[in-house]
Amino acid sequence: METKHGEGTTPWWLSQRRWLPAALAVLSALYGVISIWSAVSPHDRYRFKMLAEFVPGPVTLTAGLLVVASGMVLILLAHGLRRRKRRAWRLAVGICAVLIVTHVGKGLDLEEAFLALVLLALLVYGRAEFTAKGDRSTRLIAVAAVVVIYAVGFIAGMLAIGVYHRKLTGHPTLLAAAWTTVRGFIGQTGPVQYRNVRYESLATTFLVSVTVLAIIIGAYLLLRPLEPKAYLTNDDSKRLHELLDRFGSRDSLGYFALRTDKSVVWSPTGKAAVPYRVVAGVALGQR
């Protein structure tokens, strides 16, 4: 099947791009799984040795953890991409750009980086298909959750430095401990030095894990559909009572429509109504 385009013809699979959101959703979820598998699989020793000459160990560790977090976020984004969410598309584009860098930074995994580039190109190609707007209020919820996670992680990092002060070299100031904790969130060391490399690795892993958790939780809350609070107005309640008085004998469960934890949508004539609640982004109506 071909469609006319100017003087020539255009294949149907180029002119009709309705399949793109669903296809990109599947590809994003699949690539997310590939990224996670790549991060937890053993590295190529030759490539890792080459990388170690230019990239410090903490950076490689951070890149690997970010690959895991980004892979999980891509899997979460698949649902939003299938529903043509513009916000999900923007996040997927950003995650793909991050994965291009982190796959190289964790072990010179050029194949996975190339796949991220291909997925990024496909997302950009299909950008016109993602037009659904998200709920702005979910942004505030996601930002608040990320702030709380980092605040708890910062307090825990500071407490760890205080508890394990005997494992440190010298007597670091409070400002030095705070700066070390903040840098630890991105896998970097700070002015506070540990006598044992093992404790330093544990501290870095914990703080980077906080970043990974913040990314995953923030992405989930950002994409989660907001459930509006259901309520029944006095006018809706009065009109429902009138309907039930007239036709309630036909349905013994009709009076459940008067529950105050439901909303109601009316027909244009006002002779019929459907009570409903929104659960997980789906409107559940009462027959």
Higher per-residue pLDDT: 86 or 258: 86
Identity of the highest mean pLDDT range in 113-127, 141-155, 219-233, 264-278: 113-127
Residue 11, pLDDT above cutoff 90: no
- Phi/psi for 43 (5° steps) reads -80, 155
Could you state, in order of their start, the residue ranges of all structural domains in the chain?
11-133, 135-226, 234-285
Give residue-wise pLDDT tens across range 88-124. Answer: 898 899 999 999 998 988 888 889 999 999 999 999 9
Contact yes or no for 30/122 (Cβ under 8 A): no
- Phi/psi for 190 (5° steps) reads -125, -165
Give residue-wise pLDDT tens across range 220-240. Answer: 777 766 666 666 777 777 777
pLDDT of residue 135: 64
The residue type at 22: A
Question: Mean pLDDT of all residues in the chain?
Answer: 78
Residue 46, pLDDT above cutoff 90: no
Residue 186, pLDDT above cutoff 90: no
In a 3-state reduction of DSSP, which class is residue 275? Answer: strand
Higher per-residue pLDDT: 260 or 145: 145
What tokens does 78 get? 């698949």
Give residue-wise pLDDT tens across range 204-217. Answer: 778 888 888 888 88
In a 3-state reduction of DSSP, which class is residue 3? Answer: strand
Q: Calculate what percentage of the chain has a pLDDT beyond 90.
A: 12
| DSSP annotation string for 179-229 | HHHHHHTTT---S--BSSHHHHHHHHHHHHHHHHHHHHHHHHHHHSPP-PP
Residue 5, pLDDT above cutoff 60: no
| Cα separation, 192 vs 51, whole angstroms | 26
Using alpha carbons, select from 82, 57, 79, 69 the residue that is nearest to residue 200. Answer: 57
Residue 201, pLDDT above cutoff 50: yes
